[in-house]
């Protein structure tokens, strides 16, 4: 299954870039159930840094769900980091995604977007991303990181598994490989 955008802020516009020795985390609400497999972000330079995903804790960044780093992040344009472990994303839950770098210069960029929230705090990039995120964050309302989570999006409950097969409505198919669809459905506990 191909990766799809789960949550985040896309586009190619940005207001400014990350400063040296700061951890930046952007708040997003998951619109779907999914399994995160990639972190994609807009960047202008490459430096040593880290990327992470955090759960929410009472409206603040909480437990760390994923960390990658002490390596080159960024570059020119959109960057894709293939995650070394999957993270389950639950619909309507709040997540914080972001990271930080060794020197300032837009390894991770931010953008003004009404209604979104960005948090940042001083952090030594060579340390492990904090777990939990802890306090001391400064809030920047109406800003976010130009960063997205991509992965496998689950079909909402109640959606049929198959709509069409080779252009024929699944309801119009009576047999698959000579076996009646009703018999196959019974094995799967599906009413046809």
| Per-residue pLDDT tens digits for 42-74 | 887 777 778 899 999 999 999 999 998 766 666
Q: What pLDDT, on the 0 to 100 scale, is given for residue 93?
A: 97
What is the per-residue DSSP string for 118-184? EEEEE--TTSPPPSS--S-PEEEEEEEESEEEEEEEPPPTT--S-SEETTEEGGG--EETTEEHHHH
Averaged over 153-163, what is the pLDDT? 61
47 and 118 in a single domain? The answer is yes
Same domain, 176 and 89: no
Task: Reply yes or no on whether the pLDDT at 107 is more than 90.
Answer: no
C-alpha–C-alpha distance, residues 119 and 135, integer Å: 10
- Could you tell me the CATH number of the domain that includes residue 100? 2.60.120
Confidence class for position 169, pLDDT limits 50, 70, 90: very low
Residues 100 and 181 in one domain: no
The pLDDT assigned to 58 comes to 94
The average confidence (pLDDT) of the chain is: 80
Of 119, 123, 116, nearest in space to 137 by CA: 119
Closest by CA position to 101, among listed 64, 47, 144, 25: 47
Give mean pLDDT, residues 78-94: 92
Number of domains, the chain: 2
Instruction: Tell me: do 190 and 108 sit in the same domain.
Output: no
Same domain, 81 and 142: yes
Does 158 have pLDDT greater than 60?
no
Is 164 found in the same domain as 132? no
**Pairing mode, strands 94-101 and 22-29:** antiparallel
Same domain? For 91 and 168 the reply is no
Residue 117 and residue 189 share a domain = no
pLDDT confidence of 192, banded at 50, 70, 90?
Answer: very low
Other CB atoms within 10 A of residue 35 CB: 17
Q: What is the enclosing helix (H) or strand (E) of 187?
A: helix 181-188
**Same-domain pairing of 114 and 173:** no
CB-CB contact of 58 with 96 (8 Å): no
In the beta sheet, which residues pair with residue 139?
Answer: 119
* 105 and 71 within one domain: yes
Instruction: For residues 188 and 115, state if they share a domain.
Output: no
Tell me, yes or no, whether 147 and 169 share the same domain: no
Range of the domain at 174: 160-192
């Amino acid at each position: 299954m191909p990766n799809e955008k789960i949550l985040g802020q896309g586009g190619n516009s940005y207001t400014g870039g990350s400063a040296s020795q700061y951890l930046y985390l952007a708040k997003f609400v998951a619109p779907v159930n999914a399994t995160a497999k990639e972190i994609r972000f807009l960047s202008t330079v490459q430096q040593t840094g880290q990327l992470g995903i955090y759960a929410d804790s009472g409206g603040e960044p909480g437990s760390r769900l994923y960390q990658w780093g002490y390596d080159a992040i960024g570059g020119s344009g959109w960057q894709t980091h293939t995650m070394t472990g999957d993270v389950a994303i639950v619909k309507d839950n709040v997540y914080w995604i972001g990271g930080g770098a060794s020197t300032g210069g837009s390894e991770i960029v931010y953008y003004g977007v009404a209604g979104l929230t960005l948090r940042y705090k001083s952090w030594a990039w060579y340390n492990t991303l904090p777990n939990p995120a802890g306090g001391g964050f400064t809030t920047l309302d109406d800003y976010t990181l130009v960063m997205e989570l991509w992965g496998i999006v689950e079909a909402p409950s109640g959606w049929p598994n198959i709509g069409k097969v080779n252009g024929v409505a699944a309801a119009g198919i009576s047999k698959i490989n000579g076996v009646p669809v009703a018999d196959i459905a019974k094995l799967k506990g599906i009413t046809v």
